[in-house]
Structure 1
Amino acid sequence: MPDIKHILVFRLSAMGDVAMTVPVIRALVAQYPTIKVTVVSRPFFSPFFEGILNVDFFPIDLKERHKGFLGLYRLYRDLRKSDIDAVADLHNVLRSKVIRSFFALGGKKVAFVDKGRAEKKALTRGKNKIFKPLAPMVIRYTRVFEQLGFPVDLQQPIFPLPQPLETAVKAVTGEKTGKWIGIAPFAQYASKVYPQELMQQVIRQLAGNPEYRIFLFGGGAQEIAVLEQFAAGLTNVKVIAGTLKLKQELQLINHLDVMLSMDSGNAHIAAMLGIKVITIWGATHPYAGFLPFNQPMDSAIAADRERYPLLPTSIYGNKQVEGYEAVMESISPSVVVKKIEEALG
């Protein structure tokens, strides 16, 4: 084992990408109990790492202290006080390159993630597409620690046990009875969002079973307004968005029996907690490596490639192809409901 006792892990965004680091870091410190890890990320993500032994969280301040190049140098000086031995750059963007370069100049070992950009381009291009599964992002993260001398085995993942719900959470959810289903119907880009009228059908079909209690996740006034429409008139459907803090949402998610999500952050949050996740994919595809951690490929419901052979057309959903605006409509609400019911056993 290398003479490394303290590893700095750098991953600032996006929410799903940060959530995917959690099972890897949890496995790392379990398999190497003498190692200490300090995670540098945005303050909002701090609850993701709470309760993991030997893991500290360092909130980056991009608005003031750590803003700009001089701010990054301040960040390096702040972190250097913690006796860092090595840097695992799980982001590999300009900011993280600057930080790891400072540490490398100081004689520390550094390693960074290979995002597989060329492979992803081949998967999404229109001509000469190479349609095959790429390495999952969590595996790409493990390769970074392997470069530092710490191979990580994800075959027997560790997940936190559900903790009793806080009074404030229970006031929203009530006592748990029957099956609890989470639904997160939004994503950053429209090409990753299941049409509202179809999602409404999914929710109404599920709500027809009195044994189910359905919780709707999202954020912001616009999304909350849509969720309120989804829940209207359904006594076993509850809008969670805007009512709980992130730490409380994590507590609730850890009590779910299944989460339905788009290709978005909520899918990865549920997966990092060991919850079954059903995902819906439009312009993107799980072959790009973003299938939620420890979930089977058949938990992903993808748009019809026979009707839309150019899929996937985007890695992140930010690129639309003419004529492919309605690919999500090739996924029937009954297929989604059936997949959820199968997951519930």
Structure 2
Amino acid sequence: MGDVAMTVPVLRAFTQQYPSVKITVLTRAFFKPLFRDLKNVTVFPADVKGKHKGLVGLYKLSRELKKENCDAIADLHKVLRTKVLKPLIGTRKVATIDKDRKAKKQLTKGKIFEQLKTTHQRYADVFETLGFPVDLSNPNYPIPAALNPNISKLMGDSNKKRIGIAPFAAHDGKKYPLELMEQVIKELSKNYQVLLFGGGKKEVQILNYFESEADGIINMAGKLAFNEELDVISNLNVMLSMDSGNAHLAAMFGVKVVTIWGVTHPFAGFAPFNQPADYALVADRNQYPKIPTSIYGNKYPEDYKDAAGTVPVERVVEKIRTVLG
């Protein structure tokens, strides 16, 4: 989801700079709400677990896409499916993302330690190859969504500033230790409304426990449709997230995003869009010199699992307070 959400600021800039060009986004149906605010953008749902599964499914998908009469293909993903699909569609003008795996490998092997090109800029480069250079330096964002009665009832009537907190990530090495996150949540709830985000039965149980710890903490997980959850995120004053999808969901709305990093690092290019570098709270590399151990956080030495815990609770709380002014 994070990869898909990162395309949104780029597509928003594209549609504003080239208002006469129509874009069709090929992605899973679940992600369609991410593109709801973009003009001249439609979503073509790929049913990769159903009728578009496997080689036969990709052939069917190519037949359907041909009817769109696209003039060019921008491959922002560069995976096996897109490699198979592009020649089947037959569109001659094709541009594919350069993920620069060589530089990323050097970064994770400790041969270099420097900021690589951001994923957002890599997406923009694809469009430039097609003849549409995209300037990302002056972004615009949609206005916060109106909250329906269901959401308003859940959130209650509070005049406090809203902090979203998403304490989970796909891999353990990217997570802030839960006992430390509990302290962060309880401290912030004293002065702000804290809204918790996550998914999955186990995560919901943990967030329910956090919610019970103090007033001003509300667990949003499992209570809203995805479209409604996006409405809430668009109304946040700040999001606190791991290196995970929720950071990118908030950033695409122009919400301020503070991130905590464990075995991954912003230098790989996956920091949320248009956020100051000091909003990224990184693990102590003196103690864990092999960081980043991998690009996606799925590979790390066993004793690096709690690397994110080297970011002190006090630093996280103070950064949030500073960002909120």
TM-score normalised by L of structure 2: 0.98
Q: Distance in 1 between matches of 2:316 and 2:24?
A: 39
138, 141, 165: which one pairs with 1:156?
138
User: Structure 2 stretches of 5 or more lacking a match?
Assistant: none
Q: Distance in 1 between matches of 2:160 and 2:215?
A: 14
Question: 1:330, CA displacement in angstroms?
Answer: 1.0
- Deviation of 1:247 (Å): 0.4
* Residue 196 (str. 1) matches residue 178 (str. 2): yes
Distance 1:57 1:304 in 2: 41
Counterpart-to-counterpart distance in 2, 1:269 and 1:36: 23
Q: Take 1:109 and 1:311, find their aligned partners in 2: how far apart are those partners?
A: 39
Match of 1:53 in 2: 39
Cα deviation per residue 1:147-174 (whole Å; 9 max; x = unaligned)? 0000000111121101211111112112
**Residue segments in structure 1 that go unaligned for 5+ positions in a row:** 1-14
Instruction: State the AA in 2 paired with 1:54.
Output: N
CA distance in 2, matches of 1:102, 1:176: 54
Equivalent AA in structure 1 for residue 310 of structure 2:
S
User: After superposition, where does 1:130-145 map in structure 2 within 5 Å?
Assistant: 130-145=112-127
- Give me the whole-angstrom Cα distance separating, in 2, the residues matched to 1:300 and 1:310: 18
How much has 1:283 moved relative to structure 2? 0.3
Distance 1:107 1:213, change over 3 A: closer
Q: Kindly report which structure 2 residues correspond to 1:288-299, keeping only aligned pairs within 5 A, or say none.
A: 288-299=268-279
Partner Cα distance (2:158, 2:132) in 1: 41
Deviations 1:210-252 (A, max 9, x none): xx10000000110011111112131100000000111001100
Runs (4+) off by over 2 Å = none
Q: Which moved more, 1:220-229 or 1:259-268?
A: 220-229
Within 5 Å, which residues of 2 pair with 1:83-232? Answer: 83-103=69-89, 106-126=90-110, 129-209=111-191, 212-232=192-212
Structure 2 distance, partners of 1:311, 1:221, is 31
Aligned length: 325
Match in the other structure for 2:15: 29
Equivalent position of 2:300 in the other structure? 320
- Show the counterpart of 1:331: 311
> What is the CA distance between 1:63 and its match in structure 2?
2.1
Alpha-carbon shift at residue 176 of structure 1 (Å): 4.9
Compute the RMSD of aligned alpha carbons.
1.0
| Distance in 2 between residues matched to 1:202 and 1:335, nearest whole Å | 10
- Taking only the aligned residue pairs, the percentage that are identical comes to 53
Q: Which residue of 1 aligns with 2:49?
A: 63
Q: Does 1:270 align with 2:247?
A: no
Task: Find the aligned partners of 1:147 and 1:176 in 2 and give their Cα distance.
Answer: 48
Match of 1:39 among 9, 15, 25: 25
Query: What's the offset of the Cα at 1:107?
Result: 4.5
State the shift of 1:322 in Å.
4.0
In the alignment, the residues of structure 2 paired with residue 18 and residue 239 of structure 1 have an alpha-carbon distance, to the nearest angstrom, of 25
Letter in 1 for 2:26: V
Pairwise CA distance, 1:195: 0.3
Q: CA deviation at 1:205?
A: 0.8
CA distance in 1, matches of 2:158, 2:273: 26
Higher alpha-carbon deviation: 60-69 or 191-200: 60-69
- Partner of 2:303: helix, strand, or coil? coil
Q: Distance in 2 between matches of 1:51 and 1:196?
A: 35
Once the two structures are TM-superposed, the CA of residue 200 in structure 1 deviates from its matched residue by: 0.4
2:133 aligned partner, one-letter code: P
